[in-house]
Amino acid sequence: MELLEQYICKNGAVKEGDVLKVDSFLNHQMDVGLFAEMGKEWKRLFADAPINKILTVEASGIGIACVAAQEFGVPVVFAKKAQSINIDGEVYASKVQSFTHRRVYDVIVSKRFLTPDDHILIIDDFLANGCAVNGLIDIIEESGATLEGVGIAIEKGFQEGGKLLRERGVRLESLAIVDAMDAATGGLTFRH
């Protein structure tokens, strides 16, 4: 998606340790006009899929998912990162290893919000090693719901998450795929 690549080139920064900083528009400060365009693009790409719910994970996926959900006219469910006293005991759970925070955490979704009748689109901001998306897919499979696809804003094409998902037959639509980046020069190579 050309608009997203333009945002990344203009406002992103490549840091040591394979970190792509896009916190001025994607995951700390959030440009909701861009999110609306991303939502339209996913709606175009998944136009034939009978999606009735979007699933994401807190925190940085939530804003993108909610704006995109308006294009689909469906509700969003976000997986929570820790047990809360406001969650009923009946939850689906999976473990996720965070690249950013370098730790493992539990993600949970109330069983009331995922059923065998649901057709789910997963939305998230980043795909690197794929751990967050795999955790969400585990939860969807446990619930008996149908995974229709995965929509990612930025895929790090030099990490294996996207490749492994495509090999499994998951319908994956990443709006920008970064195949290489160089912290010394700030250079970025996109897959087209």
Which residues of the shown chain bind its own copies in the complex (CB under 8 A)?
17, 19, 21, 23-25, 27-33, 35-36, 58-59, 62-63, 65-67, 69-70, 73, 75-78, 80-82, 84-87, 100-102, 109-110, 112-113
Residue placing its CB nearer to its own copies in the complex, 20 or 172: 20
Classify residue 111 by its DSSP letter: G
Q: How far is the CB of 107 from its own copies (least distance, A)?
A: 12
Cα–Cα distance, 4 to 103 (Å, whole number): 29
For residue 5, give both structure tokens: 């690549």
Residue placing its CB nearer to its own copies in the complex, 114 or 172: 114
Q: How far is the CB of 192 from its own copies (least distance, A)?
A: 26
Q: In this structure, are residues 47 and 38 in contact, taking their beta carbons and an 8 Å threshold?
A: no
Q: In this structure, are residues 57 and 79 in contact, taking their beta carbons and an 8 Å threshold?
A: yes
Beta bridge partners of 107: 94
Q: How far is the CB of 20 from its own copies (least distance, A)?
A: 9
Cα–Cα distance, 160 to 130 (Å, whole number): 7
Residue placing its CB nearer to its own copies in the complex, 19 or 183: 19
Q: How far is the CB of 37 from its own copies (least distance, A)?
A: 12
